[in-house]
Amino acid sequence: MALKSTIFKAALQIADMDRSLYADHALTLARHPSETDERMMARLLAFALNVPADDHQGALGFGRGISDNDDPDLWQLDLTGQIIQWIEVGQPDDRRLIKACGRADVVKLYAYGPSVAVWWAGIVNKLSRLSNLAVWRIPSEQSLALAALAARSMRLQVTVQEGLVWVGNGEQSIEIAPEVLKSGA
């Protein structure tokens, strides 16, 4: 019998001064049995950093990601079905990113983990010509601290200012400083 996903609920309050975006979101995340808290929280962080101010061009939503190789971790589809944003977390294969860049207007990747430097060195040249791809590295100690905030029911405040991100749950707060590995459109 297959293991089922674990359901997490997150009440997210976002104050993004860099984009003048202030919003509350009630999210339901399904954590695949093979997914870690670190990866799930990286998906949540990617949502907070990319959610549009309104849904006139379509809402940002979670894809099937880890359980479906054709879906991203998050994506924004316009009303015609065109992919506006394709967002991945982790260290995906370069072929997956190249394919995503051909299908979406903008592709964003939030890489995390202790081996990001080695992984990035192996694929950076293959991705250099992709003008619609942007890549950030979440420092390993910061992604682990973010994972420690994971709970089945979460109330999180996310504040973004000058590229720095603070995530708190009322009891503790962590600072995340995403490092740009590749800037894109």
CB-CB contact of 16 with 53 (8 Å): no
pLDDT in tens, 36-63: 999 999 999 999 999 998 888 889 999 8
For the stretch 91-122, pLDDT in tens is 999 999 999 999 999 999 999 999 999 999 99
Please state whether the predicted TM-score (pTM) of the whole model is above 0.85. Answer: yes
Residues 6+ apart with CB under 8 A from 90: 39, 42, 73, 111, 112, 113
Enumerate domains of the chain plus CATH numbers: 6-182 (3.10.640.10)
- Average pLDDT over the chain, rounded to an integer: 93
pLDDT (average), residues 78-86? 92
What is the percent of the chain with per-residue pLDDT over 90, rounded to a whole number?
84
